[in-house]
Copies of this chain bind each other. A is one copy, B any other.
Amino acid sequence: MDIKECLLCTHDGGEILAANAFLRIIAPEEPEFPGLIRVVWNAHLGEMTDLPAQYRSTLMQVVCQVEQLIRDVLHPHKVNLASFGNFVPHLHWHIIPRWEDDSYFPESIWGNKLREISEDLLLERHQQAQDLYETIRGFDFKSKYNA
């Protein structure tokens, strides 16, 4: 893929909550999935094993730190982690809080929708996601996880 055509080379992919020279932590527009966070490697690489081992480690430390902040703020029943890149072959991780009453649980969010969630509950979780974003903005990723 020409990087001029890569969505994650030409666009941030969401609101940048934190960033360093290597990666960015973004809050994407995901109306159905409040609190879903992505960690995007800035350079155009497809796979974890395209990265030198040192950078893989830094990236996963950041992914796990985001998981911890999601757990601390949102207290979901489960957290899902995934790196696919089938549509956009540019290394990025999905960190997804899951609740037993969310629309897809226990299916993956890429699976079949199993139920409707009430608008009130969805709104409440999007409001809590704002607290998560604030917590991520306030966390010192830069000094802790610069590769």
Contact = CB atoms under 8 A, between A and B. Distances in A.
A82 B85 contact: no
Contacts of A47: 67, 71, 78-79
A68 interface: yes
Interface in A77-127: 78-87, 89, 98, 105-108, 110-112
Nearest to A111: B110
B82 A80 contact: yes
Q: Indicate how many identical chains form the complex.
A: 2
Contact of A86 (B48, B87, B106): B106
B81 A48 contact: yes
B82 A86 contact: no
Interface in A39-59: 46-49, 53, 56-57
Contact of A105 (B56, B86, B106): B86
Nearest to A66: B49
Contact of A60 (B56, B67, B78, B105): B56
Nearest to A63: B48
Tell me which of A49, A67, A81, A105 has the highest count of chain B C-beta atoms within 10 A of its own C-beta. Answer: A49
